[in-house]
Amino acid sequence: MSHGSRKTADDAGDGPAETVERVSGTGIPVRGNDVDTDQIIPARFMKVVTFDGLGQFAFFDQRFTDDDEKKDHPFNDPAHRGATVLVVNANFGCGSSREHAPQALARWGIDAVVGESFAEIFAGNCLALGMPTVTADHESIVALQEWVDAHPDGEIEIDVAGETVRYGDHELAVAVDDAQRTALVEGVWDTTALMGANGAAVRETAESLPYVELDG
């Protein structure tokens, strides 16, 4: 269960979704470059009607042997139970474009990901869940991962609008994609909510399309 928090700003945008200006919580480090979506959520667990329950299968093959024996993995470490900020390395989320990967992380309890770099489609799928993906250089990420190892109960605060990450006595400058920052801070990251809040405009557009037939 998530023990972190997502802080909103009273004067943030007037979008239909929750505004995500800051995210805070304890951290969990997953090391290695090119961690792909099949590692995050193996394909055999994607045969579901809804995303509910996917969290238990996050990093499953990295966490368990074929005989279901636990491996040494951060997601199995009791010290990181309840962590909400995932700290990763380069090209995280590469491979297939499956949206199940960020869905599994979110349902495990992750609210934000800090890393060296992310696959573009993975970052976009995270944004659709209101989950920031922020980046920093290799040395800064390694230092943060080492700090998390030493301080599993230490809080990390991600300021999406200000593009900083604070932990311990440190403040780290990070980069947030301009479109992502705008969408999160203004509360327009949830396209379903956005369309629902603009139902009249959506219907007007649909009525103007010759290939769309509307009932009523």
* Identity at 75, one-letter amino acid code: F
53 — pLDDT class (breaks 50, 70, 90): confident
* Identity at 128, one-letter amino acid code: A
What span, in angstroms and rounded, lies between the C-alpha atoms of 1 and 81?
Answer: 8
Q: Which CATH superfamily is domain 5-207 in?
A: Aconitase, domain 4 (3.20.19.10)
Global confidence as pTM? 0.82
Phi first, then psi: give them for residue 121, nearest 5 degrees: -70, -40
30 or 200, which is more confident: 30
pLDDT over 90 percentage in the chain: 69
In three-state secondary structure terms, 216 is coil
Summarised one tens digit per residue, pLDDT across range 163-177 is 999 999 999 999 999
Summarised one tens digit per residue, pLDDT across range 110-136 is 999 999 999 999 999 999 999 999 999
- The domains of the chain are located at 5-207
